[in-house]
Amino acid sequence: MDKLKYSLKHEKIVLGAMLRSKDTRKHLVLSMQSSEFHSDTHKTIFGALQTLVENKLDYTAPTLLTLLPDDTDWGGKEYLEELEKLGGGNNVEHHVNRMRWDRARVTVYENVLPELVAELKDPRSDVDETIEIGARIGDILRDSRGDQWK
C-alpha cells in the first residue's frame, strides 16, 4: 500500500505558536497529546513543552534546551528558532485541526482500511464485523474534529 501524504507544516506552526504564547502553550498541553504529532522530532519538542507547563516554567530557548534530550536528533536551537518564526499567526485552531485530520487519515489508511478491504474481499466475511470496521473508520475521522476550542 502506498504511503499517505501529510504535511508537517501544521505541526511546525502549532509548535511555533506554543513557543510564542504562554496561553497557547498551556491550552494545547492540556488539550493535545504527543501522539497527535506525526514527526518524532515534534513529539520530542511537544514533550519538552509539556514539562515546561507542568513545572510552571516560562519559555526561554535555554530553558527548553535543558528539557530536550542531548542524544536525540531533534533539530537543535536553530530548529526552535525556525518554529518560533512560523508560529506568529492567530489561526492555531486551524492548524491543530489539520494535524488531527492528517493523523486520522493516516491511522485509517494504514491501520483500519486494510482490515475493511480484507473483509470486503472475503465472500465469507461477517456483515456485522464489516459494518463495525466501517463504523470505526467513521469514529476515527469524526473524532479528528475534536472540541478543544469550544
The length of the chain, given as a count of residues: 150
* Domain of residue 19, residue span: 9-143
Among 76-85, 89-98, 117-126, the range with the most confident prediction by mean pLDDT is 117-126
How far apart, in whole angstroms, are the C-alpha atoms of residue 111 and residue 106?
Answer: 8
Confidence grade of residue 69 (pLDDT, cut at 50, 70, 90):
confident
Domain presence at residue 126:
yes
CATH number of the domain residue 139 falls in = 1.10.860.10
What average pLDDT does this structure show over 27-34? 95
Q: Is residue 87 part of a domain?
A: yes
C-alpha cell of 5? Answer: 501524504
Angle between helices 92-107 and 9-20 (to 10 degrees): 140
Query: Degrees (nearest 5) of the Cα angle 44, 15, 96?
Result: 110
φ, ψ at 144 (rounded to 5°): -65, -20
Q: Which three cell numbers stand for residue 122?
A: 472475503
% of the chain at pLDDT higher than 70: 95
- 52 assigned to some structural domain: yes
Chain segment 102-140, per-residue pLDDT in tens: 999 999 999 999 999 999 999 999 999 999 999 999 999
Give the count of domains, the chain: 1
pTM for this entry: 0.85
